């Protein structure tokens, strides 16, 4: 070791700088740790005492130490223990005690360096492998280690649990598990999920409890640019890269054991307006989609007379939506009106108006039909002295087509009279009795005329007998997984019910 120290201070002929201890140890295959330890022990310890009291030995301490050094220099190992040196000395004819060899080698700093024994903590098993309840952490035998800052630290853990510090010097298992293929929190790792989180709600903590909560904030106004994955900002997002059958970006499911519950809820933070998917209402009715915008207070109605909420809105470039029920198709109600159609309305059934009679029963009243667009007016009048002028209501006149003169039918009431229409125009008509009669009699009349406005030509597809069956195929119950609905698309001229043209999948960011 002394030779290595001296060589490290020797100047290199080429660089005129010392070789350095690292280069010398690397070239001579020496351990720098051993050199440093030898240097420290030499500086801290006093000069070895090479003599002892008692009977004189065959070899003095100086002679025995010289023999020990020769033995160590003859071995191929960097350092030797005192037992091997003592055994080789005996084999070479030098008889001495093991303890004397140990004393001389320790005093001369010739012993092999050894690692200091680490201080282990208590081996007391404080935990139990029997949990008190399901989903509870259980403990195992702990171990200990020593840190530079805190000293002795006790570690206790199980299996795939991640550790957590319960105090500055104690660590145990956390709620998080990681087996390399999946992560779970407060629950065993599930092979069906990359991340699984379990939480048992405590009723005493009140409402507003969530297993996972995503909270979005920003340092300044940051408006999104669209409705796509990379153009919206959200508190929680999910994406399914491939649109395989029955695959979704985000799903929500619920057993709906009770009422006012569902799979997914979205709404204003205070619940003023909201919508639910897979909702079970207070009357036990089940909805695929339910929305409400009127719950501004606990009673579910606004405290003033204003109204601006819309329960649902649907827009489509082909069709806004369809409704089909096995018993009833659609029920609507409104204070101003229940239904408003902006455009032509076609029905394959009958238009029936239910009129409440004096007895309280609803009497069906069927609409008058025609193969073209007609407008009707009727009335009752009395013929005096055989002649009468009847004027049409101005609103009826406005509904008549330009230049249209309606057809009038007369019916005498209470007796017979030879009546005819003496003159008629757009504004009214004149009734007279034939042969100069002077009858005074009641007359019922009906006027029928062509309706104003462009005459609507019914599309050929609507008039055909195939459209009903085709639309029924489109309005398919997706719960019937063994069957598929019928396609519908518009080619620019007519409705098509075959497979639509294939569209290229848009490029998505990975």
Tell me the domain boundaries of the chain.
Answer: 2-108, 143-201, 257-302, 374-450, 465-496
- What is the rounded distance in angstroms from the CA atom of residue 306 to the CA atom of residue 310? 13
Q: Is 437's pLDDT higher than 60?
A: yes
- What is the rounded distance in angstroms from the CA atom of residue 50 to the CA atom of residue 108? 9
Q: Is 48's pLDDT higher than 70?
A: no
Largest CA-CA distance found in the chain, in angstroms, rounded: 179
DSSP conformation class of 345: -
How much is the average pLDDT of 251-264? 94
- Sequence-distant (≥ 6) Cβ neighbours of residue 300 within 8 angstroms: 292, 294
Q: Which residues pair with 351 in a beta bridge?
A: none
Q: What is the 3-state secondary structure (H, E, C) of 260-323?
A: CECCEEEECCCCCCEEEEEEECCCCCEEEEEEECCCCCCCCCCCCCCCCCCCCCCCCCCCCCCC
If one compares 472 and 52, the residue with the highest pLDDT of the two is: 472
How much is the average pLDDT of 204-215? 93
Q: Is 297's pLDDT higher than 60?
A: no
Mean pLDDT of the chain: 84
For the whole prediction, is pTM greater than 0.75?
no
Q: What percent of the chain has pLDDT over 70?
A: 83
CATH T-level topology, domain 374-450: Immunoglobulin-like (2.60.40)
* Element spanning 209, H or E: none
| Predicted local distance difference test score (pLDDT) of residue 303 | 60
Q: Is 299's pLDDT higher than 50?
A: no
Q: Which residues pair with 408 in a beta bridge?
A: 447
Computed on alpha carbons and rounded to an integer, the radius of gyration of the chain in Å comes to: 51
Q: What percent of the chain has pLDDT over 90?
A: 45
Q: Could you tell me the end-to-end alpha-carbon distance of the chain, in angstroms, rounded to an integer?
A: 60
The CB density around residue 222, as the number of other CB atoms within 10 Å, is: 8
Q: Cα–Cα distances in Å, from 427 out to 387, 409, 411, 465?
A: 17, 16, 20, 41
- DSSP calls for 137-148: ------EEEEET
């Amino acid at each position: 070791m002394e030779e290595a120290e001296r060589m490290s201070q020797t100047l290199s002929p080429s660089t005129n700088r010392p070789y350095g201890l690292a280069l010398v140890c690397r070239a001579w295959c020496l351990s720098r740790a051993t050199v440093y330890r030898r240097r420290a022990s030499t500086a801290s310890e006093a000069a070895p005492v090479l003599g002892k009291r008692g009977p004189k030995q065959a070899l003095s301490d100086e002679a025995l130490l010289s023999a020990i050094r020769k033995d160590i220099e003859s071995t191929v190992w960097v350092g030797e223990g005192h037992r091997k040196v003592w055994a080789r000395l005996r084999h070479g004819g030098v008889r001495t005690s093991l303890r004397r060899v140990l004393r001389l080698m320790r005093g001369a700093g010739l012993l092999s360096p050894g690692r200091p024994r680490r201080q282990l903590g208590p081996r007391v098993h404080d935990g139990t492998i029997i949990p008190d309840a399901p989903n509870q952490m259980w403990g195992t035998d702990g171990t200990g280690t020593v840190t530079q800052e805190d000293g002795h630290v006790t570690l206790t853990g199980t299996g795939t649990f991640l550790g957590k510090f319960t105090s500055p010097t104690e660590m145990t298992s956390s709620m998080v598990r990681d087996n390399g293929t999946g992560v779970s929190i407060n629950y065993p790792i599930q092979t069906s999920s990359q991340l699984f989180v379990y939480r048992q709600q405590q009723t005493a903590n009140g409402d507003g409890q969530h297993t996972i909560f995503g909270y979005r904030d920003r340092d300044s106004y940051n408006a999104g640019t669209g409705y796509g994955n990379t153009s919206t900002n959200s508190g929680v997002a999910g994406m399914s890269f491939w649109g395989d059958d029955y695959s979704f970006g985000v799903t929500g499911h619920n057993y709906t054991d009770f009422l006012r519950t569902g799979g997914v809820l979205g709404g204003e933070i205070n619940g003023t307006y909201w919508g639910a998917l897979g909702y079970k209402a207070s009357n036990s009715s089940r909805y695929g989609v339910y929305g409400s915008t009127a719950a501004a207070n606990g009673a579910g109605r606004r405290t003033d007379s204003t109204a601006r909420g819309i329960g649902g809105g649907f827009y489509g470039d082909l069709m806004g939506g369809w409704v089909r029920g096995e018993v009833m198709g659609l029920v609507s109600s409104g204070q101003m009106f229940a239904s408003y159609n902006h455009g032509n309305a076609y029905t394959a059934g009958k238009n029936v108006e239910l009129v409440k009679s004096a007895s309280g029963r609803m009497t069906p009243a069927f609409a008058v039909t025609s193969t073209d667009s007609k407008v009707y007016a009727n009335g009752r009048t009395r013929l005096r002295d055989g002649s009468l002028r009847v004027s049409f209501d101005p609103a009826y006149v406005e509904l008549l087509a330009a230049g249209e003169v309606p057809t009038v039918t007369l019916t005498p009431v209470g007796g017979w009279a030879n009546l005819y229409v003496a003159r008629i125009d757009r504004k009214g008509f004149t009734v007279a009795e034939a042969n100069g009669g002077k009858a005074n009699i009641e007359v019922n009349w009906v006027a029928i005329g062509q309706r104003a406005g462009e005459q609507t030509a019914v599309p050929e597809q609507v008039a055909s007998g195939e459209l009903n069956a085709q639309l029924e195929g489109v309005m398919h119950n997706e719960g019937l997984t063994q069957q598929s609905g019928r396609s519908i698309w518009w080619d620019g001229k007519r409705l098509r019910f075959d497979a639509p043209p294939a569209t290229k999948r848009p490029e998505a960011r990975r």
